[in-house]
Amino acid sequence: MAEPALLEMHDMVKRFPGVVALDHAQLVLQKGSVHALMGENGAGKSTLMKCLFGIYVEDEGTITIDGAPARYSSPKQALDNGVAMVHQELNQVLRRSVMENIWLGRFPKKFGLVSTGKMLEETRKVFDELNIDVNPRVQIGKLSVSQRQMVEIAKAVSYNARILVLDEPTSSLTGEEVEHLFTIINKLRERGVGIIYISHKMEEILRISDEVTIMRDGQWVATRPASELTTDEIIRLMVGRDLSNRFPPKTNVPAETLMEVKHLTGRYPPACKDVSFELRCGEILGVAGLVGSRRTELLETLFGVAHRGEGEIDLSGKPVANRNSRESINNGFAMLTEERRATGIFPLQTITFNMTIANMKAYSHFGFLSGKEMERDTRRMVGSMRVKTPGTKTYIKSLSGGNQQKVILGRWLLTEPDVLLLDEPTRGIDVGAKYEIYQMIIDLADQGKGIVMVSSEMSELIGICDRILVMSNGRMAGVLTHEEIESEQVQETIMRLAAKYI
């Protein structure tokens, strides 16, 4: 008799008000294999994994682990039974140390008391095994997103999990960090751990996976050996159609100078240093660089959420102070942040609240808010941006990542900005939703908006940007012109500039 699969999920159904998130979905995971789970945002991937991890309880369907029925009512129960999940949106206690975050809820004890020494020893043991170079005593909120992601992976490994779910694990990692992660995955695979790997990065999927399951609209579409698939075939199965062009045609034409930045330097480290550039009306200016190059700090200093030490920002020929976010919004700036969950959405609020929160002054009349006007604008933006939602009263946390991103982008468009600062606008978003976001960005540039866009995906910067500014260790290393972007050596040029001041 054949040995049962490590994990089997069959005929999984999950309904929410107004939507069927899972419609008889299925997944079979073998021991010691990496099984990629792919699909557009809203395809049901995260819902399926949340049913496995005890966050949701399925309405119908069966889950078996090693042939035995498994149904968990909480993540703790799942963890105690060898099922761990590293979420794309990190959920950590930022004011506590790295080791406290790893052992939260199960602190090592000695004589009935929490043993800091034992906790430190056990943390170092896990880090040494995975070759992670992070100080266990440091406050986790002081780490970069990529370091925090590696800590979360170490936490999952510390549970000695038999099944490990990785949701977009490389979304904030550099190429070198991705290689490190793949080394960890291969170690776990050799131990017999089954890994479910959720990602939108086709090259990674084809390289690391043994099998690939593709979902669409909550349903299972196909499961194939990764060796038999190509990027084009995966895209066709995901979206149900051929998507021959990953980027929309560029129709925007940059015009006169809109914003001039002179010798911009942040007051407190880590910060950008002596950055100067121009942004034109109707231009998409990309910002490239390695993790730690201070790309995000540049946008935060422009928007006033990071204090400016020196330098000047001129908008339409006039200096603007941008001392805080409110002042920046009043001056015609908008900023979409990298981490949707931490600094973008209000998860326990409705789409209407999330869409209109930055523009409340427009709905305030004699000290009262007009709910009718807020609802009107929300419906208009939901329609124009094709947000998939049962209604405007739906909590934003129930939407897919791509639809959450559309809501946040719609929020800023309601403020009618002149300059949009976009930090990783397509992070964790599938190929179909990415195309829609790209089209929105180009349409905004067509309207004369100036756009500064940070991205870790070089192909994205090359595909839609008019010029690319390259950051290196907080300093501007160079700016590539439109002609240089179209050259065959553009990727080598960007990487050379990114390493200029390291």
User: 106 pLDDT exceeds 80?
Assistant: yes
- Give yes or no for a contact between 99 and 179, defined as CB atoms under 8 angstroms apart: no
Q: Please give the full DSSP string across 341-408, using - where no structure is assigned.
A: HHHT--TTSBHHHHHHGGGGGGGEETTEE-HHHHHHHHHHHHHHTT---S-TTSBGGGS-HHHHHHHH
Average pLDDT, the chain: 90
**pLDDT confidence bin for 2, thresholds 50/70/90:** low
Q: Which of 58-72, 283-297, 424-438, 457-471 has the lowest mean pLDDT?
A: 424-438
- Give yes or no for a contact between 164 and 188, defined as CB atoms under 8 angstroms apart: yes
The mean per-residue pLDDT over the stretch 382-391 comes to: 87
The rounded distance, in Å, linking the Cα atoms of 340 and 59 is: 29
Q: Which residue has the higher pLDDT, 15 or 469?
A: 469
Most confident residue range from 98-107, 231-240, 286-295: 98-107
User: 372 pLDDT exceeds 60?
Assistant: yes
Could you check whether 7-239 and 245-332+417-502 share the same CATH topology?
Answer: yes
pLDDT tens digits, one per residue of 251-281: 999 999 999 999 999 999 889 999 999 999 9
pLDDT value, residue 89: 72
- The full set of domain ranges for the chain reads 7-239, 245-332+417-502, 341-416
Q: Please confirm whether the linkage preceding 270 is cis (ω < 30° from 0).
A: yes
The rounded distance, in Å, linking the Cα atoms of 249 and 331 is: 31
Return the SS3 of 198: strand
The mean per-residue pLDDT over the stretch 477-485 comes to: 95
The mean per-residue pLDDT over the stretch 281-303 comes to: 93
Class of domain 245-332+417-502: alpha beta
pLDDT value, residue 357: 94
Q: Own/partner pairs for 44-49, CB < 8 Å, 24+ apart?
A: 44/14, 44/215, 44/217, 44/218, 44/219, 45/198, 45/215, 46/167, 46/198, 46/400, 47/14, 47/21, 47/22, 47/218, 48/9, 48/12, 48/14, 48/22, 48/215, 49/85, 49/165, 49/167, 49/196, 49/198
pLDDT tens digits, one per residue of 307-345: 999 999 999 999 999 999 999 999 999 999 988 877 889
pLDDT value, residue 427: 79
Q: Fold for domain 7-239?
A: Rossmann fold (3.40.50)
The mean per-residue pLDDT over the stretch 445-468 comes to: 93
pLDDT value, residue 408: 93
User: 196 pLDDT exceeds 70?
Assistant: yes
The pLDDT > 90 percentage for the chain reads 62
Q: Which of 145-149, 194-198, 441-445 has the lowest mean pLDDT?
A: 145-149
**pLDDT confidence bin for 400, thresholds 50/70/90:** confident
The rounded distance, in Å, linking the Cα atoms of 126 and 122 is: 6
Cβ neighbours for 102, distance < 8 A, ≥ 6 positions apart: 123, 126, 136, 151, 154, 155, 158
Q: Which residue has the higher pLDDT, 12 or 386?
A: 12
